[in-house]
Structure 1
């Protein structure tokens, strides 16, 4: 029975990791590649945020997105997957503070949903079902 629970947990962790990876790679690439004028159409907070900060957030999201899958998949430093979960959790907490400050309360729900998913990956890969490194 414990084996079946671990298998289900492992599958659910992989699903969440892949979903977060796709989402953050796309978001990071968008913030890194698009002009600020285009970003401000879909992301209003970018109009009054310094460009270097927007690009830094994009780079952080891109690296976090890669970190959700690649280290675990290759089994090279797989703890980086859990650390990606911790890093993205911090980004989501800071994003919720920004959206609260700007009065964008509907965005906060999404931030906390992603925060929960990232914490789930960090917990699962650090404590419950860590992936062993390749030997």
Structure 2
């Protein structure tokens, strides 16, 4: 009779056992896929931010060269804003993905870039696409 009771318990408890095993397997697979998708997402967005910052930096360095070669008293405000933008870019935490003010700093850089473009009277068109990024005028 004890053998019949054990078999009966095994059948009755099979649903609970299979539910628990399925949950554990699903959790492990979901965790693994979540890490893979998280890395892909982070890599993609990190590359976009890096490309954007790189374009701003190249723009700023080019204009610094142009303004230094023919600097006038009138260009002093432009140079001040330009140097502030370069300083912000150089302080940007490229290698710290846990930096909690990353988006705030990025917004400040974007704002300073727009201010500089306004002072220089240029209309930038920054685009990020699958083929690469670019800054055109």
Higher helix share: 1
Higher strand share: 2
Bin for the TM-score computed over the shorter chain: 0.3 to 0.5
* TM-score (ref. length: structure 2): 0.43
> Computing the radius of gyration over CA atoms, which structure comes out larger, 1 or 2?
2
* TM-score (ref. length: structure 1): 0.44
